[in-house]
Amino acid sequence: MALTFSDKEFSACFQKYMLPASEKMVQMMLSYLIAKKGKPFELAVDVGCGTGRYTRPVAPHFEKVIGLDISESQINEARRSTSEKNVLYHTSPAEELPVKDASVDLLFAGVAVHWFILDKFMQEAARVLKPGGCLALHAFRLIFEIQYKDVSETLTAIITETMNVLLKYGDKADDVMNNQYGELFEAVPFADKQRTTDIPVMYPLSLADLMGFIQSIYMYQVFLKQDRDGATEFLQRVEKRFRDTLGESSHQATLEFHMTCFCILACKS
């Protein structure tokens, strides 16, 4: 799926519409690092950083943060969207991290590690982390729920049917996410590790936000590349179903968009 993520049109859409960083996930990473290593926090590295969704909220807690992604267009969007002076971005594969041995306090990847060549990335994690440094790998399941007044069941059915169509344009990496990184946990090379599943996260979204989020999912972009007319018509039908369900509330409604997140945390002894 590298070609999809390197597409300029998709990267701009991703930056505009993908859901923002979950404060809950950021605090989980930082609390774990405090417990295992303690301050000072010098260097954090965000691998597969995309447009910097998690790079930016982590930045205030570290002297320096480096965001890495294999996609130049994603990195360009990240640079345009970042004002923090202690953040640097580089185009780099996850399997060849451009940082020194034993130099990183926190190495993390949000909704990204399932795309990496796992054994090579884990070797790099062991190389670059300081003793006591921490690894954090988090993502969300592709199963969503929408709550709004008395039409929650219908709205949830629509988003579920929408995702079932988009999953036809997906990859085996989607299964890794829906299994909450169960198999991936075994590949983490540190004895001190934990996996937390079924973490509830809620975003308040307008209908416009929701439709934008659907467009920011890579599977929709694959659909769009293969059949632009078909994908566009599909999105229009989905929006009409949402509008018909919401009725007069469709323009001003604030929907509760619920997802399940999960996180692997590990410490290099």
In the block, residue with structure tokens 């929650």: 152
pLDDT of 138 higher than 60: yes
pLDDT of residue 136: 98
Which domains are present in the chain? Answer: 2-267 (3.40.50.150)
**Cα Rg of the chain (Å, integer):** 19
Q: pLDDT class for 5, splitting at 50, 70, 90?
A: confident
Please state whether beta strands 43-47 and 104-110 pair in parallel, antiparallel, or not at all (unpaired): parallel
pLDDT of 41 higher than 90: yes
Three-state SS for 140? Answer: strand
> Could you tell me how many residues make up the chain?
269
For the entire predicted model, the pTM comes to 0.94
Alpha carbons 202 and 169: distance in angstroms, whole number: 26
Alpha carbons 66 and 99: distance in angstroms, whole number: 9
pLDDT in tens, 54-87: 999 999 999 999 999 999 999 999 999 999 999 9
| Closest residue by Cα to residue 120 from 128, 130, 131 | 128
* Contact criterion met (CB below 8 Å) for 138 and 261: yes
pLDDT of residue 7: 82
When the pLDDT of each residue in the chain is averaged and rounded to a whole number, the result is 95
Alpha carbons 224 and 264: distance in angstroms, whole number: 33
pLDDT in tens, 176-206: 999 999 999 999 999 999 999 999 999 999 9
